[in-house]
Structure formats: C-alpha cells, structure tokens
Structure 1
Amino acid sequence: MKTIAVLTDFSKRAENAARYALCLAEKIHADIKLYNSFFVPSEDPLSAQIAWPMEDYEALKRESLHQLELFGAKLKKEYSVGMTGTFKPAIEYECHDGNFNTYLKGLEAEKDTVLLVIGDHEKGMSTWMTGNHLDEIIDQVSLPVLVIGEHQKFQQIDKIAFATDLNTGDIEQIHSLAGLAGTFNAELLIVHIADEKYDDLELQYKVDTFLSDITSKIDFAKIYYRRVKSIDVGHGLNWISEHGQIDMLVMVHRHKTFLQNLFKSSFTKEVAATIHLPLLIFPSPAYAVPVF
C-alpha cells in the first residue's frame, strides 16, 4: 500500500502539513504514517556540562507516542466529517529519539513510501525542524519532499508547474509527476526560466530535444511548455507562481545546476513562504522515482 510519511513536531505548521498530506492521501489512495523525534537530554554532547534532571527514556517515548495517537485521532475525526471520498487513509505512528535525520535512511527503505511531507520553517521555533534541519532533510533524503506552509490548505489541483533547466535527467521525475497530475486530471506545465540574452536558436534546439524525449517516453496528453524570460531564477519562479494560475510548484534538487542558489541555507523555505504554494522537491539523481 502506498504511504505518505509526515514529519511532525506538533507545531501548528506541522499539523497543517499533516492535514494537507491526509487530503492528498485520500486522492492518491495512500495511507499516512506520522513520525516524531523526541529529545533525550543525556544524548546531547553538552549534557555533561549541564545539570540535567534524570530522564526516563521509556517515559519520553510513551509521551511522544501518546501525542502522536492524540493527533492521529484528531485527524481521523476531522476527515471522517470533511472527506467525501470512498477511500479512507489509515493512520500509523512512529517515534524515535534524537535527530530525525538519523532515521531518514530507514524511512527510505520502506518501499511503499512515495512522499515525505513537512511543514515549512518558522524562524525562532526551538524544535527539531528548526535551523538547517529542513535543508538537511532535502539534502539527505532520496524521496520527493513536499513542503507545506502554515496557511496552505488543500484544494483541487488543476495545474502543476515543473521548473527545469532542460536536463534530460528530469524526464524520470516528470514521468512520476505525470502520474500525480493524472490523478487530478491536472495540466502539467514544463517551465524553463532563461535570460532574454540566451541564444534563441540554441535554446530552441534544447527545448525541442527535451520535449521530444518527453513525448516519446511519457504517455500523458496534458503536458505543456512555457518559457519565462528572467535573469533571476527566483524572480521567474515567483512570477509563474503569481501569474501562471498553478496549484503546486515542483523542482529537482541538484548540487550543481542553475537552481543551486535556490537551495543554499534557508532559501528553500524562503521560496516556499514567498510563493504561497505547496513546493514539491524531487531529489537528483533519482534512484527510484515513486509511482503515484
């Protein structure tokens, strides 16, 4: 059974992300698995320098699991009233001690997991999802990561925009994304952001080659292409988000591409907050893209 993993620290942003994930799970016929990472002071490198009270590991774990169960029950109650579809996602729970990044590889090993959902970053929060943790998750995980803002509510997805530098390595991710778009009968808009000074003949050749590869490998009729002229990728993405009538923005995370600056410290969270849209990030290289 397909599963959507949801990381939660019980903050409002994380709870909202879980609600979005639950609605999405209903549409794609997937179950939900809630994860929480609880902190054990004795395992902190600085704990020896601080007079920590004695903490009972099992008590901390029970409390974390109890909070997960309460939140899961709350979600179940909400969707039993608000959801009208015939499929009802099952909700499971799992908690770990310490930094959750330690357990990402184990999560990825669960073959049925197709997506990891997290809330965006809120400056000043002292939880395990603060600081560079969001960036670390995006850097380390080999699953697609869906970042949901605090005020983003689930709605019908009619158009998904996929930002690309026309790298043929993106074809696999587009193929996977076509499955998600097909579930909603949505359009899939391929967006390339390029400077006006870019050689039009050279660009057109790359576009034609890229779209030809898509046509030959992906059987999905509602794929369209649009070039956005901008010298700044961030500005181009903001423009297409504001004027393109899209419901989700999708990118591929690479370490050495024109998108690299988007994934420097905290910028991913800044993009997600600025565009006010769900931001889906595919890893690259894609060792195993999910089937939605």
Structure 2
Amino acid sequence: MKKINKKSILVLTDFSKYAKNAAESALNLAIKMKMDIVLCNIYPTPTILSSTETPFPIEYDDSAKQQSIDSLKIEKIRLESILKRDTDISVIPDITIMDEDHSFSSLATLIKKEKNIMMVIMGGRHHQGNEFLFGGCINTIVNKSNCPVLLISEKALTEAVKTTIFATDLTIEDMKQLKLLTEKADLFKSHIHVCHISPPTPIVIDFNEEYHLSEFIQEMGKLTFKKISFKNIQGKNIVQDLIEFEEETHADLLVIVHKTHSFLWKLFHESSAKRLIRNQKSPLLILPG
C-alpha cells in the first residue's frame, strides 16, 4: 500500500452492521483527534494443504478482489456523505482505501511497522455462525499491534462519551495507560470509573493484593484529572462482573490493557473472550501494555 503520511485510524471492515458502526465510530474519533481514515476489507484468507500438510494461503481470483475494492469505494462514499451532513467540521478527515490483499498476520505486522497508524477499529462480533474474527484473528491484531484497538458492536462510539470504565489489575502499566486516557477523557468530557475485580474475600487476607490496591489508589490521587472514581468488585466471573458494572454505570466505553500473562491475556486465551465480545454493548478499547 502507499505510505501513510498523516496520522490515521485504520478501519478493518467486512461491511457488516457492526463493521459499519466501527467505521462511523472512526469518523467521530478522526474529527475529534484530527486524523485521517484508511479503510481495509477483512476476510478469511482461503488456504490449501501442501504436500507436507502445512496450510498456506492462495490468492483470491480477480473478480473477488475487484468486488472487495468496489465495496470499499461504496463504503468510502457512504462515510463521506455522513461527513458532508456535518457543517460544523473545521477539518474534514481524508478517507482512503487499502486495496492490497493481506492475511491477518501480515496486516498485524504492517500495523506495527506503520508509525502513522494511531488506532485500529473493527467490528467486535459478527452474525451467528461466523467465527473467524474470534480468537486467532482478533488475538493476532491485538498481540502484534503497538497502538490501541477498538472493537465496536451494537453501539457506535459517538462524541458524547460521558462514562468510561477502565478495568485494571493494578499494575504500573495500567497506571501509565490510565494517565494517557485521562488526557483523552478531557477531550470527550468523560467520567472514568476505574474498576478492579478481586476474588471473593479469602479466609486468609491477601496482603499483597491489599498493598497493590492501596498503592494504585494513591497514584490515582496524584492525577490532575478529577472526574475519576475507583470501585473494587469482589467476584468470581470477570466477564460477568464487568458486564454488570457496565450496565450499572451506563458506560459508553469499556477500556482494558493488553499484557501477556495478565488480565486480558486470560480473556483472550479462554472462552470468556468470546463471551465478553458477544455480550458487550459498549465499545471495547484495548490499549497496548
């Protein structure tokens, strides 16, 4: 693809309902953050087995590729028409399409290398029966990306982000990302609910957990951003507890930090990942740890 010369949001789309919500969310963010948009069609790459029974990708025929490009052009026109309806935009984002074939792995590598891709946005779940986005594909993008990944399902991310949930496991990496998030929260005038899920109270108190909890809250107190609160929830089911807290606070955005062998790693390597994505209503922002 042509080199991306301006800071941009990469939108991975398969033209489904959730993917269109993702693209519209990208418009709102691009306007707020003065970035451009790059559209890329995503679909599972067909494979065949070699003589050694190792799968390798085969090329789509020209008609399938042309259909993909045509659909991208139509989506670009749709998004540009939405922009034209907003007369208050001072700087209109430029929308381009990526017409090269990419596997998820090569696309993830490109995202990591391309310094001007500031965020990746994609539909968080698809219609029943289409499983290719779950597990491996989303995991590939999240694991290799060094920029935020935003998953959108039923609710697009609008300008009115009033309530954000930041789920934490009390690490230093989380505090660094929380500080960065407070800067963006100011942009959206959002209140941030910091949430930690603790296991049910044990017979023997976990002093290590208590120490990290106290230390994290102390660091939160040093933040200049004041529209922030902390809640510690005791529960056995991380996904269900997050969903219930999301409903309780009427959250517009759920934020988690990706770190190997930690909170999000467990989600993306267990069946609970699919449950979180399937049941999420608010946009899910995954920050690099």
TM-score where L is the length of structure 1: 0.81
Q: Which residue of 2 aligns with 1:139?
A: 143
Partner Cα separation in structure 2 for residue 55 and residue 154 of structure 1 = 33
CA gap 1:236/1:40 in 2 versus in 1, 3 angstroms: closer
Q: Deviations over 1:154-188 (max 9, x none)?
A: 33101111111111121221122122211111112
* Whole-angstrom distance in 2 between the partners of 1:263 and 1:241: 19
Q: 1:208 aligns to what? A: 214
Call closer, same or farther: CA 1:55–1:239 in 2, change over 3 Å.
closer
The 1-side partners of 2:60 and 2:256 are apart by: 42
Q: Cα distance 1:268–1:180, how it changes in 2: closer, same or farther (>3 A)?
A: farther
The CA distance in 1 between the partners of 2:230 and 2:92, in whole Å, is 35
2:281 aligns with one of 265, 276, 288: 276
After TM superposition, give the deviation of residue 205 of structure 1 in Å: 3.1
Q: 1:249–1:277: 8 Å Cα contact kept in structure 2?
A: yes
Counterpart pick for 2:68 among 64, 70, 73: 64
- Give the structure 1 partner of residue 262 of structure 2: 257
**Residue 93 in 1 paired to residue 88 in 2?**
no
| Shift, 1:37, TM fit | 4.5
Tell me, what secondary structure is at the counterpart of 2:20?
Answer: helix
**One-letter code of the match for 2:21?**
N
Task: For 1:55 and 1:177, locate their aligned partners in 2 and report how far apart those are by CA, in whole Å.
Answer: 40
Q: What code does the residue aligned with 2:172 have?
A: T
CA distance in 2, matches of 1:132, 1:237: 23
Query: Relative to 1, partners in 2 of residues 1:37 and 1:247: Cα closer, same or farther, differing over 3 Å?
Result: closer
Residue segments in structure 1 that go unaligned for 5+ positions in a row: 285-292
- Out of 145, 151, 156, the residue aligned to residue 153 of structure 1 is 156
Q: From 197, 200, 209, give the equivalent of 2:201.
A: 197
Give the distance between the partners of 1:259 and 1:209, measured in 2 at CA: 21
Corresponding residue number in structure 2 for 1:45: 48
Q: 1:146 offset after TM fit, Å?
A: 0.6
Aligned equivalents of 2:233, 2:20: Cα separation in 1 = 35
After superposition, the CA RMSD in angstroms is: 2.9
1:35 maps to: 40
- 1:37·1:96 contact (CA, 8 Å) conserved in 2? no
CA distance in 2, matches of 1:187, 1:39: 38
- Counterparts of 2:112 and 2:236, CA distance in 1: 37
Work out which of the residue numbers 202, 218, 228 in structure 2 matches 1:223.
228
Q: Counterparts of 1:188 and 1:25 in 2: how far apart (Å)? A: 21
CA distance in 1, matches of 2:270, 2:137: 10
Distance 2:280 2:152 in 1: 11
| CA distance in 1: counterparts of 2:29 and 2:268, whole angstroms | 25
**Aligned pair partner of 2:83 in 79, 101, 104:** 79
> Aligned residues, how many?
274
Provide the identity percentage. 29
What amino acid sits opposite 2:28 in the alignment? C
The separation in 1 between residues aligned to 2:38 and 2:93, in whole angstroms, is 10
Partner SS state of residue 160, structure 1:
strand
After TM superposition, the structure 1 = structure 2 runs for residues 122-137 of structure 1, keeping only pairs within 5 Å, are 122=126, 123-125=128-130, 129=133, 132-137=136-141
Q: 1:83 to 1:9 in 2, by over 3 A?
A: farther
TM-score (norm 2): 0.82
Alpha-carbon distance in structure 1 between the residues aligned to 2:48 and 2:94: 38
> Where does the alignment leave 5 or more consecutive residues of structure 2 unmatched?
1-5, 54-58
- Does 1:248 pair with 2:253? yes
Question: Does structure 1 residue 172 correspond to structure 2 residue 176?
Answer: yes
Cα pair 2:161 2:188 within 8 Å, conserved: yes
